[in-house]
A and B are shown apart, each in its own frame.
Chain A
């Protein structure tokens, strides 16, 4: 991981502001809307509602190493420890009397898109019953390869239904011009985010995946607001300045690898240090690129329907293999890491086959490791260390 960024202070400020805004919204009676990470939040911002990301809460609890405690509170209620770690954190916190990372903000409405997985809708449904609040699902069909008009129309029609749902439940007017402005801001921020991620292609690079995992918080929660644009403009400027001063993400970059997925949050630093000690930069991941979208503000609803459901998790095997290979080529990677994440089944299916196919197609060595993005009860340090060290010995 790079030495601390000046921008980090701004991020701290921005995140505090985001959480304060949640409390303030609750006090002022502005509806708190639960949303999934890959959801057209622009509609919520355009209606001056407050979007809250329970997945972000899960990631925070995971990074602070309390996912197991929260999970056990959910397990005591009958939720299996094999479910998504974020869901176990959110559900556990709702049932728990102790809140080690602050109490999860309860929703007035719940909006979910099933483009990421099948667990999120179930979690949101359960939360809808628990808090007794209305729930809306933006149902996305699987988009194997190319989309079709039928699928596109289905997605757009549902966005109209979503707007009706929001107008009725919140008694606020939706304004398409306002949405256009929000989408334009979103587009600026996602483009700037992409510019920052792109810097990892330089060799040596001033920015890598582990940095991106820290700096992604604003693109998730502030996307659609000026705050995100300002933040990534500043981060990009800082990265450019670092390049001039020859400050790089790791001290001695010899190799670049592609990392397929969410990091192991409670071991982010451990992984970052291990890669750095082996002179290897994790350059890219489809995960951090999920918010590097390119919207067309002139067609606000259409562009949202075109981008969000087309994320990698909702695509077929061939598309996903090609995407990984494109990243590897673009970032000039010497190998790739596939994370079999106990918490995230849709991303962990078929990894050994994918590894074999990717190696056959690219000639690059790959590694599959097993663990959990949230919960250290499913993390075996000795075995993972041996796996990775063998892999580094293979790269040399």
Chain B
């Protein structure tokens, strides 16, 4: 029995296809254009290698900011709930999830079954999110993937204020203009983001173990800065961006099983 979870994020869209609780296929694709079209395209791409079609899926759950616009989803569930579920299945002893997505960062507390017990999310501001990192990488003319490793090379990070993405960007441009070392600026950016996320997490009663998910988890510099502040090692899933879609797929499986049983 096949089911799917689809997670339409603000920068990337993700899909996970489960076959009897095992991942049969998964895909990450840049979101762009109309969500309905993207949803179809990502599912086609994920299903074609399996030789199956949308109709063959017993259930589909959509999550992410674009969840409401996925035309074929049986149910919409928020990404917070899905990230909780997905993480718990992969790492049952995790109690706190840090999710760094494109347009928001979140702290999620979960119980042993992956149910959300408490959560926080950044307010209406891109500072501390994946989008912020993208803007900074652009301003520095550095590839996004190189940002993390670069940050680790610095010995004296610059101080970057991060009350606002736009102000931080102009500050970074000024620092570049002054001829400051790129690695120090990049390291400063990572410290600032980590500080912001750490501030958000402090609103929760953080419990170990802690996992980090979302696109931000792929940034080794950010993971390192957060670990320093939290004083503990973070669990980084192999495919951190897929955890939400995975959680959605697990819920789809549950619905399909329930139907079968009922």
9-residue interface stretch from B27-35, B118-126, B230-238: B118-126
The answer to whether B116 touches A386, judged by C-beta atoms less than 8 angstroms apart, is no
Cβ of A386 and Cβ of B80 under 8 Å apart? yes
Bitwise, A368-396 to B at CB < 8 A (1) or not (0) is 10100000001110110011011001100
Give the shortest distance, in Å, between B84 (CB) and chain A (any CB): 9
Q: Which B residue's beta carbon lies closest to that of A392?
A: B78
| Cα–Cα distance between A393 and B205 once the two chains are bound (Å) | 20
Complex contact A383–B203 (CB within 8 A): no
Which residues between 30 and 73 of chain B lie within 8 Å of chain A, taking CB atoms?
65
A389 contact set on B, CB distance < 8 A? 78
What chain B residues lie within 8 Å of A352 (beta carbons)? 120, 203
Q: Please state if B78 and A393 are interface contacts (CB–CB under 8 Å).
A: yes
Q: Does B79 contact A (CB under 8 A)?
A: yes
Among the listed B119, B123, B124, B205, which residue makes an inter-chain contact with A390, where contact means beta carbons less than 8 Å apart?
B119
Range, interface on chain B: 20 to 34
Report yes or no: B118 in contact with A380, Cβ–Cβ below 8 A.
no
Taking CB atoms, residues of chain B closer than 8 Å to A122 are none
- CB–CB B203/A386 < 8 A: no
- Is B104 positioned at the interface, with any CB of A under 8 Å from its CB? yes
CB-based contact A383/B78 at 8 Å: no
* Tally of A-B Cβ pairs under 8 angstroms: 43
| Residue of B whose beta carbon sits closest to that of A377 | B124
A365 close to B (CB within 8 Å): yes
Contact with A along B192-216 (1 / 0, CB 8 A): 0000000000010100000000000
Q: Are A382 and B65 touching (Cβ within 8 A)?
A: yes
**Residues of B contacting A393 with CB < 8 Å?**
77-78, 80-81, 116
Given contacts A352-B203, A365-B118, A380-B123, contact A386 B77 (CB under 8 A): no
Task: Give the complex CA separation of A246 and B115 in angstroms.
Answer: 35
Contacts of A370 in B (CB 8 A): 123-124
A387 near B121 with CB under 8 A, answer yes
Which B residues touch A387, using CB under 8 A?
Answer: 121
Judged by a CB distance under 8 angstroms, whether A129 is at the interface is no
Which residues on A sit within 8 Å (CB–CB) of B116?
Answer: 390, 393-394
Contact yes or no, B104 A383, CB < 8 A? yes
A299 interfacial by beta-carbon distance below 8 Å: no
- The size class of the interface chain A forms with chain B is 10 to 19
The digit string for A334-368, where 1 denotes a CB below 8 A from any CB of B, is 00000000000000000010001001000001001
Using CB atoms, name the residue of chain A closest to B123: A370
Minimum Cβ distance to chain A for residue B16 (Å):
19
Nearest CB of chain A from residue B122's CB, rounded to whole Å: 8
Assuming the A-B contacts A352-B203, A356-B205, are A386 and B121 also in contact, with contact meaning beta carbons closer than 8 angstroms in the complex? yes
Residue in A closest to B125 when the chains form the complex, CB atoms = A380
Q: Looking at the complex, which one of B117, B118, B123 makes contact with A383 (CB distance below 8 Å)?
A: B123
- Which residues of B sit under 8 angstroms from A390, Cβ to Cβ? 78, 80-81, 116, 119
Q: Is the CB of A383 within 8 A of B80?
A: no
Compute how far the CA of A281 lies from the CA of B76 in the bound complex, rounded to whole angstroms. 22
Bound state CA distance, A352 and B119, in angstroms? 11
Which residues of A lie under 8 Å from residue B117 when comparing CB positions? 365, 394
Contacts of B78 in A (CB 8 A): 386, 389-390, 393
- Alpha-carbon distance A393/B116, docked complex (angstroms): 9
- Asked whether, in the complex, the Cβ of B124 is within 8 Å of the Cβ of A380, the reply is yes
Which residues of A lie under 8 Å from residue B104 when comparing CB positions? Answer: 383, 386
With both beta carbons as reference points, the residue of chain B lying nearest to A340 in the complex is identified as B123
Minimum CB–CB distance for A363 against chain B, Å: 11
Contacts of B115 in A (CB 8 A): 394
Mark B83-122 against chain A: 1 for CB-CB distance below 8 A, else 0: 0000000000000000000011000000000011111111
CA distance A383 to B115 in the complex (A): 20
Binding site for B on A (CB under 8 A): 352, 356, 359, 365, 368, 370, 378-380, 382-383, 386-387, 389-390, 393-394
Question: Can you sample 11 A-B contacts with CB below 8 Å?
Answer: A352-B120, A356-B205, A365-B117, A368-B120, A383-B104, A383-B124, A387-B121, A390-B78, A390-B80, A390-B116, A393-B77
